Every structure is written in C-alpha cells, then in structure tokens.
C-alpha cells in the first residue's frame, strides 16, 4: 500500500456523504474489493449532486459521462464499516469537472482510499459535450479546492 495521503478529513473536503458498507462488499481476502471503491465514489458524488438539485439522471437534458478515473489505496475498508466520503472539485472546465473523493473508515481522520474521476457533461441524446449549466457550475464552485503544487508532485510519484 502507498503512504497515507497528506489530505485531512477536517480541511480538504467540502461536502460529505455517509455510506454503509454491505456484507457483499467484502471479498475472499476479508476486505472491501477494489471495485467497490469506485461504486462508492459514484454513489457519493451523484447522491450529493441529486441533493443539490442539479442532477436529474432520469429526465435531465444533460448527463455526466466518466472519461477518467483512478484510486489510491492506503488502508483497508470492510463490512461493517461506515464510510464517510469527503467530496471536493479540483477543476471546472467548460464542459467537464474533476471530482476527488476521500473514503474514511468510521470516525478515523486518515483517508483509507482516495479517488478521482472526471465527468464530461454531454447532451443526453447526442452525447456531444455541452457547457456546464450555470446552476451546476455554482454548486461545483461551492466545493472547489484548487490543486496545490504538492498534490501534483504526489500524483506524479504515485
């Protein structure tokens, strides 16, 4: 496993979601299977977007497609943990946004896994990129955390 992240629970994430693990999340090794982390990232971000009133995944004119994703694992998660998912946005473009999610085990302050994904917002029918609507852009700015130089160095080394 990698060195623990420099990001802290209290200062680096702007939005939070609590997610309960499930029995089926554990694998044969007794910890959460790596694919579950990606599901938790989606659940945290999309749940938050729905709560903010900026995602209508059934009838909205625009949807976000994931075009890039990644995860760094620092310590294990397993059922019956309660996962606290910290969310931040580190880049907002014309039609895309980069989300970063820290998964924290129970009440621990050290991140267990840290992931990212980039949504490109597209027209639901044509699947062509379209500008992020003003309402969504405003919500994303509320959790925007500019990338620090040390963050980029850590990402290059990983």
Tell me if 1 is assigned to some domain: no
The CATH number for 40's domain is 3.10.129.10
Extract the runs of DSSP E, i.e. beta strands, from 22-155.
Answer: 62-73, 82-92, 96-105, 111-123
**Residue 42 belongs to what domain range?**
15-157
What integer is the mean pLDDT of 53-81? 95
Tell me if 145 is assigned to some domain: yes
pTM over 0.85: yes
Tell me if 4 is assigned to some domain: no
Report pLDDT digits (tens) over 78-112. 999 999 999 999 999 999 999 999 999 999 999 99
Tell me if 8 is assigned to some domain: no
Average pLDDT over the chain reads: 90
Tell me if 151 is assigned to some domain: yes
Report pLDDT digits (tens) over 109-138. 999 999 999 999 999 999 999 999 999 999
Domain total in the chain: 1
Tell me if 2 is assigned to some domain: no
Q: In what order do the strands lie in the sheet with 15-20?
A: 15-20, 82-92, 96-105, 111-123, 62-73
């Amino acid at each position: 496993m990698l060195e623990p992240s420099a990001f802290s629970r209290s200062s680096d994430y702007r939005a939070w979601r609590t997610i309960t693990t499930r029995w089926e999340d554990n694998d044969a090794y007794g910890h959460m299977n790596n694919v579950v982390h990606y599901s938790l990232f989606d659940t945290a971000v999309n749940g938050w977007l729905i709560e903010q009133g900026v995602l209508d995944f059934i009838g909205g004119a625009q949807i976000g497609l994931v075009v890039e994703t990644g995860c760094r694992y620092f310590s294990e998660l397993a059922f019956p943990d309660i996962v606290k998912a910290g969310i931040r946005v580190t880049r907002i473009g014309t039609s895309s946004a980069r989300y970063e999610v820290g998964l924290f085990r129970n009440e621990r302050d050290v991140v267990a896994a840290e992931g990212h994904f980039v949504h490109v917002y597209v027209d639901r029918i044509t699947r062509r990129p379209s500008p992020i609507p003003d309402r969504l852009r405003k919500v994303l700015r509320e959790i925007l955390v500019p990338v620090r130089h040390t963050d980029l160095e850590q990402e290059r080394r990983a």
